[in-house]
Amino acid sequence: MQGRPLEGIRVLDLTNVLAGPYCSYHLSLLGAEVVKVEAPGRGDLARQLGPDAELNRAGVGASFLAQNAGKKSIELDLKDSADRETFTRLVSGADVLLENFRAGVLARMGFPWEQLRALNPGLVYCAISGFGQTGPMSQAPAYDQIIQGLAGMMSITGTPDTVPMRVGFPVADTVGGLTAALSITAALAARTRTGEGAFLDVSMLEASLSSMGWAVSNYLISGVAPEPMGDQNATAAPSGTFETADGPLNIAANRQEQFQTLCRLVGREDLLVDARFAEREARKAHRTALNAELNTALRVRTAREWEEILSAAGVPAARILTVPQAVELDQLDHRCFFTEVPFPGADGRTARVSGSGVLFDGEPLRPPGPAPVLGSDTARIPELLARWGTPAEVRS
């Protein structure tokens, strides 16, 4: 890799907690210089979030460390006239301005898009919010769980006996952040042709519905509403979680040839001539009976043994791991997915943080350093202003 793709791109990041910081973290991994603008003495709320109370008190909570490695931190009070002037000068040389306030907050603070665009015509301004900048819900507060519920995610997560159930990680925040990062890179690419920036209005609700794929499109196109099915896949059978000698195993024999191979390997070729299981739609209609037959056959070996046997034969199958087990997979180590970075304050401790899931020319994208201590780069504002003095459209 000759250089990271976004090297030279300057991102002014006003975001907090997860969706926005997750977006700017990926921009940083791609090479952008990200400067967090944080409220003096308080900073990003994520600094106080995580399972380690000591880290939370120190303002470097685990939730903050995970999404902010490699960024800079400056403290600015946008109600203070001198700090507002500093912010204005930084915006004039930025490529990207990113915020996740409630709709219209930055404008009410005196920085509407029209003014920012006049100041810096090449600026890409991305606003992430729960519902978007317009519409009857635009002023409603929103966190991940609120979006999951409104998007219908919780209504189809779990079983008929357990719904509604929240997805076990903040998926709406994550999808919102990725959608923002994608739109920002697209706007930067367009700017190379037009010289003009753009205003990007990212709705976490809309991004979440978009990410739900078949659960939404099957209803829109075919009128079939999705239902909670636990660990089973509505589109195929056998496709879900099965029982082995020592624990659960995921199998997704979604194609006819995969089902045939599965039956042969578990010693149940008789299932292939059973009218209930002969073809896809019949198997879906008789899913419970088919699963019972396969569970009996699978209980003679361990999950790891079946994973190796079935995968080698082209049948998608794998154990169900805990997070501590998953992060130790040899596959992730081989691809250098995690990076050890120093703890803020350089006390000798390190933190392991995730990468992006992409190799560029065979190389992983790594954060260039640790997450910042609150305001650690405030003293460097004059140097930042000197470097960011050239407007984005001129540099483009």
Residue 47 makes CB contacts below 8 A (sequence gap 6+) with 56, 59, 60, 61, 64, 374
Whether the CB-CB separation of 250 and 320 falls below 8 Å is answered with yes
Tell me which DSSP letter residue 67 carries.
Answer: H
Selecting among 13, 144, 173, 201, the annotated active-site residue is: 173
Whether the CB-CB separation of 304 and 319 falls below 8 Å is answered with yes
In b/e form, how buried is each residue of 246-271, taking b as 16+ CB within 10 angstroms? eeebbbbbbeeebbebbbebbebeeb
Rounded Cα–Cα distance for residues 27 and 9 (Å): 9
In sequence order, the β-bridge partners of residue 232 are none
Please name which of 50, 31, 18 lies closest in space to residue 343, comparing C-alpha atoms: 50
Whether the CB-CB separation of 272 and 266 falls below 8 Å is answered with no
Please indicate whether residue 144 is annotated as part of the active site. Answer: no
Rounded Cα–Cα distance for residues 284 and 236 (Å): 6
- The burial class, CB within 10 Å (0-12 / 13-18 / 19+), for 353 is buried
Tally the residues of the chain: 396
Rounded Cα–Cα distance for residues 80 and 209 (Å): 39
Radius of gyration of the chain, Cα coordinates, nearest whole angstrom: 25
User: Which whole-number Å values give the CA distances from 150 to 120, 220, 221, 229, 374, in the listed order?
Assistant: 36, 17, 20, 19, 34
Active site residues per annotation: 173
